[in-house]
Structure 1
Amino acid sequence: MWLTLLTAVNLTIAVATLSLGITKALAARHEPGRTLKLTASVLLHAGVIFLLATPPVYRAVGRAVHSANLPALLIDIATLLCVGHAQYMTLLWHPERHTPAARRKALRRWLPFYTAVTAAMTLLYAVADLPGAARPLRFAPAYADVPAVLALKIIYFGALTITVLATMNQCRHVTMPDRPELAQDVRRCMQWFALAVGLDLATAAFTLTAMISVLTGGGHRLDFLADASWAATILSGIAANQSLGRLVLATTRSDRRDRRLLKPLWRLVVAGQPDLVIPTAWWESSRIRLDRMMIETLDGARTLKPWMSSAPALAVSDLLGGSGTTPGPAIPDADHTAAQAAAVLRDAALRRASDSPPVSQGSRPPSLPGVNVPASEQQAYLVRVARYLHHPLVDQALQRPAPATAP
């Protein structure tokens, strides 16, 4: 009865997790960032764990490779790799370790650790003299009295404890340096993520208790704890899927929202220039579509440079500064710059649409206000500009008399 239930539950989770992982892997092929790739890899590894732990699959793999207990080793290695992926993913969102240099330093420190642990576990399994096939999930207590298996499990549990605690600690400090609008969603997702990796320690504790019972002369009366430990693994898989699913959903929602916000600005600067539009495909992710829209918007803004005038930006500054009879509202410096950029772009687009001559070099701004931001801040910058495109402040600035222009 138990094995039938285990088979049904594991297959259900494996199919769902692998399907989601394959979907994310296909989308990640065209995704420049690492988050989606890591998400796909975590899901695929988790799916493999549940698939291997399904009793019929467990036995079939053992027969196929002529090593009945090899799936037990593969499950442990895949679990450790899952935690490693989670650990690296938290580095992407750590306020002090999200830079490429910091990530490379972390890789140099942790990659040899994971490699050495995996190699040691594999070697110990190879030299272990195992008399037969253990029941699925009961490999550890079944061979607790075999020195090589005992050493293998001690190394595995020790490495798992170290990596899980390190990952949980990093989960407490995560942020989204390049996507501040997602900070709250990321923190919520990381709570689930920390729970998922923390439950792996519960799995280890149950299994270790069953092994200690064998080693201290208690026999195999606590072997059922190895089965019970899988409940913690199932809950860990559900929590991980919940965390990654929520994060992907939050990111997709944010990308779609920003695309809607950017659409008016995109239409303004790209209007009448079909050569600037990059063809899209139905299977492309929201992130790719958003990146393409930003590229097209920036390219379109550059084509407006001959018609850009400094006058609208100065008018915005005057209005915000309260010059003349208009009291100046206090807004953040970033929004001040965004309002200036929106006014300059609207004015330039109107000039071009009305076939006005280009603005004289002396009257042009050296560049669009605020455009020279780091690549990680371009999205936030363009969204701010789009928000001000039809703001009353910009409308009022454009109503001021335009300076004389020359061809």
Structure 2
Amino acid sequence: MKREFTRYFLYGLLTLCGTLQSKADLTFSQVAGGFPIVGSDQNAVFVVDANDAEVVTTVARCVIQDIKTITGKSLSLTLSTSLPRPLQRRGEPNQNVSLSLGEGWGEAVILAGTIGSSSPIDDLIANGKVDTTGLTGVWEAYSLQLIQQPTENISQALVILGGTPRGTAYGLFEISRRIGVSPYVWWADVTPAPMSCIYVHGDRTAVERPSVQYRGLFINDEDWALLPWAKKTIDASYNNIGPRTYEKVMELLLRLRANCLWPAKHGSSRAFWSLEENKLLAKAWAIVMSSGDSMLRDNLWEWPRFKSGNNSSNFTFATNPQGVTDYWAKRAGEARDYEGIYDIGMRGLQDVALLGYEGQAAQLAGLADIIATQRQIITDSLGGDPTKVPQIYIPYKEALTLYNAGLKIPD
């Protein structure tokens, strides 16, 4: 059922990353000196820092499930801030334990973390146990390194270092990729081949920063494919595209080493930002949100439901500048703590040209005012220099004509 529509709605996905430099590999038979993810007599324990970005824990859970799918073995996940404690799930009592670094983790540990955000990782760096060349602060870079005797309590560790949190997530999913789990394992029902054991041998792998900084997916024309499917299946309780659908899309993005999502925005689709659960997912999966409508808005769903201070329903900056400005500013404030790419400029509702300006000269002047207003909103709502906030001008239809006519887009 998933496979039938997947080929229709998943398009426009760019997954370019740097060249993989590999000196380590995974095998499905025991090797001398190999690190046992799932071994003949022991299994590795996953460890992440509780204070690292949420996406690290989110993806670690996915990889553990991938390993279980292939081997039938359930690996444990420990959250640590240098003193490890068992994973605490929602609704469960706190189970803190006081242990020295590595004690109680087992002899084989998969330690994943972001440089500067993971105490165990930073401890290894400080003690010269891992190589951070080309990683520190590098956008979405990661390295997998097999370390012998990282501490007195651990004989081997597979260390996954990320230059940024998404880099750490990509490093974790590299394990899934190498054991034969397709990024489309869920969407296309691609069942990986079963294996009894998984070993790592070698030294390290490293991936340089992606060739393209923002890579993602635009859910478009969902009315006849994704929307009716979501309503009938995993988001039936919302009767619309909802959190369960978006969570599976976000998981797919990270498995493909993508990072950006333009959510569904036809009038029949509920706006992404209208559900708190959706926003929490964007944080949990570290997805950069954007939109084909200005300032992260979803005009067809949101504008009819928005009440501005002047109570005007006119979606025209020329005649209702305060109402439209309030509309944009509210979203910028809501999105302050999330990664986003802000579409600047403006078009009318229902995929029509900018309204309220007669003639090209007036349109150019109007768009200049609109963009200046949006940049001020970004400055006021997000703070600091607007040139540091990702923005995009989409030269679609008449927007391209105006750009070619001399519209000035800020750097």
Give the TM-score category using the shorter length: under 0.3
Output the TM-score relative to the length of structure 2: 0.23
Q: Which has the larger radius of gyration?
A: 1
Q: Choose between structure 1 and 2: higher strand proportion.
A: 2
Structure having the larger proportion of residues in helix: 1
TM value normalised by structure 1: 0.24
